[in-house]
């Protein structure tokens, strides 16, 4: 038997359709077009692609994108001055500073300087703390997307044995908080975890975010488990051509899992859709408008 493929592309397209309709509601009824500022410092090729994709998705949803492309030599003071300007701009509901930043800039300082109400990446310590305290918060986009994918195959996560592989601030930790909120029993693992395959085999729900191409093999997966693969790894295929693979060995895992996300076409498209949703929500809160019921 092979697993159900969790089609992130289709689920993200549906979500984006609902967001576009809600942006139209906000724009028509309240005369406000939600807007996001996307700040790119330097010319990292992967970051440039992400920023272009994000700007296109923002425009397609009927929102405003304010793009700032700054040279790699930008000083921390100049970037902080831009953040202060964007914090004060009523047309900007969300601020996203693409990471990584050049070495002369302290990323923590920049994240801290963003108004927490406009922190659509959900990285500001206020949002991190609110999420951990179970309070309403802007939550990082990739974990939000993962949860929506899980919910496309499970109506409830209560009591479910979940294992998260990876403990980054961007994925592993926030997804753990979301799973706890859903009443799953969560184990968080990392590079120092002993006998990782055995821990993974306990999971009814396995979420992997490590950045190691196809590390998770079929015999790490409990038969019938749901597997969410966050990894995006650029490798060279047997034919010598570049390709993208996840952190899970998909071809073999699909034979064991009950449901699994592909890479590409799983978590990736959901991240962008959730960025749009965060921007729309942030805009509604800032303007005192009833938020989207999405």
CB atoms within 10 A of CB 242: 8
Catalytic sites, residue numbers: 54, 98, 121
Among 209, 257, 276, 282, binds ligand NDP (CB under 6 A): 209
46, 171, 12, 159: CA torsion to nearest 10: 160
Q: Is 232 in the site for ligand NDP (CB under 6 A)?
A: yes
Subset of residues 168 to 197 that bind ligand NDP, contact rule: CB under 6 A: 168, 170-172, 189-193, 196
Considering the complex, what minimum distance in angstroms separates the CB of residue 171 from ligand NDP?
A: 4
Round to whole Å and give the CA distance between 150 and 147. Answer: 5
Q: How many residues bind ligand NDP (CB under 6 A)?
A: 26
From the list 268, 230, 262, the residue with the least C-alpha distance to 247 is 230
Exposed, middle or buried, 293 (CB in 10 Å: 0-12/13-18/19+)? exposed
Of 233, 286, 289, 292, which lies in the binding site for ligand NDP, with binding defined by CB under 6 A? 233
Three-state SS for 184? Answer: coil
Question: Is residue 101 a contact point for ligand NDP (CB under 6 A)?
Answer: no
54 binds ligand NDP (CB under 6 A): no
Per CB under 6 A, 116 contacts ligand NDP: no
Q: Which of 142, 152, 176, 278 binds ligand NDP (CB under 6 A)?
A: 142
Q: How far apart are CA 175 and CA 158, in angstroms?
A: 15
When asked if residue 15 is in the footprint of ligand NDP (CB under 6 A), the reply is: no
Token pair for residue 5?
A: 């493929």
Give me the residues that bind ligand NDP (CB under 6 A), please: 142, 165-168, 170-172, 189-193, 196, 209-212, 215, 230-233, 267-268, 271
């Amino acid at each position: 038997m092979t697993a159900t493929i969790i089609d992130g592309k289709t689920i993200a397209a549906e979500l984006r359709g609902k967001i576009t309709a809600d942006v139209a509601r906000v724009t028509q009824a309240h005369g406000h077009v939600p807007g996001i500022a996307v700040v790119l410092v330097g010319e990292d090729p992967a970051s440039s692609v992400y920023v272009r994709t994000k700007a296109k998705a923002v425009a397609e949803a009927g929102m405003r994108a304010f793009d700032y492309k700054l040279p790699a030599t930008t000083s921390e003071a100049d970037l902080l001055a831009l953040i202060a300007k964007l914090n004060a701009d009523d047309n900007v509901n969300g601020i996203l500073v693409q990471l990584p930043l050049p070495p002369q800039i302290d990323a923590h300082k920049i994240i801290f300087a963003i108004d927490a109400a406009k922190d659509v990446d959900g990285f500001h310590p206020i949002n991190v703390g609110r999420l951990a305290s179970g309070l309403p918060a802007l939550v990082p986009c990739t974990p939000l997307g993962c949860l929506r994918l899980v919910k496309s195959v499970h109506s409830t996560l209560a009591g479910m044995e979940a294992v998260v592989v990876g403990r980054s601030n961007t994925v592993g930790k926030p997804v753990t908080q979301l799973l706890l909120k859903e009443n799953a029993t969560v184990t968080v693992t990392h590079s120092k975890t002993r006998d990782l395959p055995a821990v993974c085999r306990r999971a009814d729900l396995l979420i992997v975010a490590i950045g190691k191409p196809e590390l998770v093999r079929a015999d790490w997966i409990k038969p019938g488990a749901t597997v969410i693969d966050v990894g995006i790894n650029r490798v060279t295929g047997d034919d010598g051509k570049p390709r993208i693979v996840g952190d899970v060995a998909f071809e073999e895992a699909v034979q064991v899992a009950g449901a699994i996300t592909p890479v590409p076409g799983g978590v990736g498209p959901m991240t962008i859709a959730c960025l749009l949703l965060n921007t729309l929500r942030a805009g509604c809160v800032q303007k005192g408008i009833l938020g989207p019921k999405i």
